[in-house]
């Protein structure tokens, strides 16, 4: 159910299962080798380029680098984080609505930090809209994707990671175990590779997963 276009995901089915205990690809020892593919490069304006934030707005038309069919899909096999940066001093509020790789609706809110990149915590597989919720300072923002990659199942920890077939020690962020909000981290955990994503370097993560709740807490949606 991986999307190749914005239109495909408008009618996405939510495949999330609450308190899922079983999956055919998770063994009895609760280990799972998550193959994250070869994620394409970080793109700071891959979703929105110089989008005006001079007024409140809901934006559903995206950069061609995102909205055109791309293989592999821009946001990766199990999603990745959203990033944004303003053209100058700004502390505006921005909301991103989308879906995870299961088709589960997600909302994440951001507060701009001027010309510094603000990195999201949740793994989006698809963006539906970007909402300018307040306006201050700079008049445009770029929105794109970072190098924090989503995982398919809720992970207790990473036993080993491999990048381009070699053992690597990227950054694992543990899943949020409580009820999701618009600002919490991802309910399944995320992995940030050591190597820069470039569409060539493959990433695999051997995880210890939670077989009492494989898909983690339900995502928050505004």
Same domain, 116 and 31: no
Same domain, 63 and 117: yes
Angle at 116 between CA 42 and CA 202, to 5 degrees: 20
Same domain, 129 and 190: no
Same domain, 29 and 80: no
CATH of residue 53's domain is 2.60.290
Same domain, 143 and 48: yes
The predicted pLDDT at position 198 comes to 95
Q: Which domain covers residue 113, as residue numbers?
A: 43-147
Same domain, 69 and 161: no
The answer to the question of residue 6 being in a domain is: no
Residue 8 scores a pLDDT above 80: no
The predicted pLDDT at position 67 comes to 77
pLDDT (mean) for 193-209: 96
For 125-171, how does the pLDDT look when each residue is reduced to its tens digit (9 = 90+)? 999 999 999 999 888 999 999 999 999 999 999 999 999 999 999 99
The predicted pLDDT at position 9 comes to 45
Among candidate residues 112, 131, 147, the one where a domain is terminated: 147
Among candidate residues 147, 168, 197, the one where a domain is terminated: 147
Among candidate residues 102, 128, 147, the one where a domain is terminated: 147
Return the exposure string of 150-179: e unless at least 16 CB atoms fall within 10 Å of the residue's CB, then b. bbbbbbeebeebbbeeeebebebbebbeee
Across the chain, mean pLDDT equals 91
Top-confidence residue, 69 or 21: 21
The predicted pLDDT at position 12 comes to 66
Same domain, 76 and 31: no
Residue 98 scores a pLDDT above 90: yes
Residue 4 scores a pLDDT above 70: no
Q: State the DSSP H helix or E strand holding residue 166, giving kind and residue range, or none if neither.
A: strand 166-168
The predicted pLDDT at position 6 comes to 39
Same domain, 192 and 122: no
- pTM, to two decimals: 0.92
The answer to the question of residue 120 being in a domain is: yes
| Closest C-alpha to 152, from 114, 118, 220, 101 | 101
| Closest C-alpha to 63, from 122, 142, 133, 162 | 142
Same domain, 131 and 53: yes
Same domain, 132 and 61: yes
pLDDT (mean) for 109-134: 96
């Amino acid at each position: 159910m991986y999307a190749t276009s914005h239109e495909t995901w408008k009618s996405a089915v939510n495949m999330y299962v609450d308190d899922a205990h079983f999956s055919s690809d998770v063994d009895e020892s609760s280990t799972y080798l998550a193959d994250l593919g070869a994620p394409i490069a970080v793109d700071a304006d891959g979703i929105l380029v110089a989008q005006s934030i001079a007024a409140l707005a809901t934006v559903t038309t995206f950069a061609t680098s995102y909205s055109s069919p791309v293989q592999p899909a821009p946001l990766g096999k199990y999603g990745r984080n959203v990033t944004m940066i303003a053209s100058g001093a700004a502390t505006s509020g921005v909301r991103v609505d989308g879906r995870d790789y299961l088709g589960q609706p997600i909302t994440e809110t951001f507060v701009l930090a001027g010309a510094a990149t603000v990195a999201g915590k949740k793994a989006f597989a698809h963006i539906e809209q970007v909402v300018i919720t307040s306006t201050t300072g700079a008049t445009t923002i770029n929105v794109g994707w970072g190098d924090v990659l989503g995982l398919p199942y809720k992970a207790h920890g990473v036993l080993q990671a491999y990048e381009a077939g070699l053992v690597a020690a990227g950054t694992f962020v543990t899943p949020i175990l409580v009820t999701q909000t618009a600002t919490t981290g991802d309910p399944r955990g995320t992995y940030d590779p050591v190597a820069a994503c470039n569409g060539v370097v493959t990433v695999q993560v051997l995880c210890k997963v939670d077989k009492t709740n494989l898909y983690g807490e339900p995502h928050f949606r505004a």
